[in-house]
């Protein structure tokens, strides 16, 4: 009997030990993690005339971003796009140059869905939370669509078309001709003065003008359509009676055809100096950890870790997460009453982060 007890205990111990080992799930997020680009924006004391020319000395001293890339980061865009920024106590200024051999536009009504034309788009999240952000789109006719999203579409967000930036100033310059298919154009430029007051309202506290070193999230997108010329007019290209897919080109890589993953947007850092040269970028030591948390959220809610949602409430799973070629971290999945959450402890700062089924990231 004694030997039988030992045997049974051994079987139970072995089974329990095997079960513990089985709880660890190996997962890689390398392909989906994005380390955003950053831009240091200098403060201007000049009176900026919004004319699409950006001829002021402050503009000349401001650096352009890198050229835009394909939204999935796979192919090189057909045409070049770049932008630069300035700010003062009233406005965030954006200037963009878009190379284009055929400049055209048809939409003239404000708050029309502008991306049905070739357009330039700005996405701004002053709170850096991905909750409550603004979007501005503009075409070569200087037609604007400005809207507010309470949260991303992926978690049930709604667009508010009534959110109008009434003090927005914008201008377009055409280097070539507009809506004339009989010649080859060079580029078009877009310049905006985006009022700071409604953007400050989207910040967490303090709701004040940006201070030295303050960071927001921002990204830019260019939507480009292939076109047909019919009876001397431009139309979006159709194949088998359906519009061809548009091209999407961005500043900071999204890795998917979806601008509404705001955790991937670039980082905008404010300086009160007249030039950003010599101003150090304030690096977030836990940026990779945070981006890994978002990647786990996306994988669990929408992709190959979705099976974890079938776990019983209260169940936990340990994950061994490969974040990059040289970095890995442990994460704990917890099935909750409302969905799920992950806990990840940073090996750099010892801070524990929690992200839930809504993509809300917090420090523990």
DSSP states of 228-254: EEETTEEEE-EETTEEPPPEEEESS--
At 1, the pLDDT band (50, 70, 90 cuts) reads very low
Beta strand pairing call for 81-87 and 38-43: parallel
What are the angstrom distances between the C-alpha of 189 and each of 123, 170, 193?
18, 11, 14
pLDDT higher than 80, residue 209? yes
For 68, the token pair is 């835009």
At 98, the pLDDT band (50, 70, 90 cuts) reads very high
Query: Which pLDDT value is given to residue 22?
Result: 55
Mean pLDDT over 5-28 rounds to 54
pLDDT higher than 70, residue 31? yes
pLDDT higher than 90, residue 206? no
pLDDT higher than 80, residue 358? yes
The Cα 334–Cα 158 span in angstroms is 28
What are the angstrom distances between the C-alpha of 51 and each of 86, 224, 284, 303, 357?
15, 23, 36, 45, 45
Query: Which pLDDT value is given to residue 205?
Result: 82
Mean pLDDT over 117-136 rounds to 97
Query: Which pLDDT value is given to residue 157?
Result: 97
Query: Which pLDDT value is given to residue 23?
Result: 72
- What percent of the chain is predicted at pLDDT more than 90? 92
pTM of the model: 0.92
pLDDT higher than 90, residue 200? yes
pLDDT higher than 50, residue 3? no
Mean pLDDT over 312-338 rounds to 96
Mean pLDDT computed over every residue of the chain: 93
């Amino acid at each position: 009997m004694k030997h039988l007890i030992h045997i049974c205990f051994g079987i139970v111990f072995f089974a329990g030990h095997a079960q513990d080992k089985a709880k660890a799930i190996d997962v890689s997020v390398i392909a989906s993690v994005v380390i955003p680009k950053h831009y240091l924006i200098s403060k201007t004391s000049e009176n900026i005339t919004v004319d699409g020319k950006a001829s002021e000395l402050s503009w000349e001293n401001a650096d352009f971003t890198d050229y835009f890339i394909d939204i999935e980061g796979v192919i090189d865009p057909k045409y070049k796009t770049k932008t630069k920024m300035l700010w003062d106590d009233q406005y965030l200024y954006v200037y963009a140059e878009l190379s284009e051999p055929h400049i055209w536009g048809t939409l003239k009504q404000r708050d029309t869905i502008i991306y049905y034309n070739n357009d330039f788009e700005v996405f701004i999240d002053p709170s850096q939370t991905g909750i409550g952000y603004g979007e501005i789109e503009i075409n070569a006719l200087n037609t604007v669509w400005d809207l507010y999203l309470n949260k991303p579409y992926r978690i049930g967000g709604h667009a508010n078309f009534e959110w109008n930036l009434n003090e927005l100033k914008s201008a377009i310059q055409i280097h070539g001709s507009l809506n004339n298919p009989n010649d080859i154009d060079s580029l078009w430029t877009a310049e905006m003065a985006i009022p700071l007051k409604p953007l400050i309202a989207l910040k967490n506290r303090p709701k004040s003008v940006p201070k030295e070193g303050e960071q927001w999230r921002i990204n830019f997108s260019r939507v480009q359509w292939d076109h047909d010329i019919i009876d001397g007019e431009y139309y979006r290209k159709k194949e088998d009676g359906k519009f061809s897919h548009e091209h999407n080109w961005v500043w900071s890589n999204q890795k998917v055809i979806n601008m509404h993953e705001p955790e991937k947007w670039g980082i905008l850092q404010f300086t009160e100096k007249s030039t950003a040269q010599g101003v150090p970028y304030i690096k977030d030591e836990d940026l990779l950890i945070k981006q890994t948390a978002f990647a786990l959220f996306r994988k669990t809610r929408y992709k190959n870790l979705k099976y974890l949602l079938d776990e019983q409430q209260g169940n936990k799973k340990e994950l061994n997460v490969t974040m990059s070629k040289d970095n890995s971290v442990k994460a704990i999945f917890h099935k909750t009453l409302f969905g799920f959450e992950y806990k990840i402890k940073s090996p750099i700062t010892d801070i524990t982060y929690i992200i839930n089924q809504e993509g809300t990231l917090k420090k523990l």
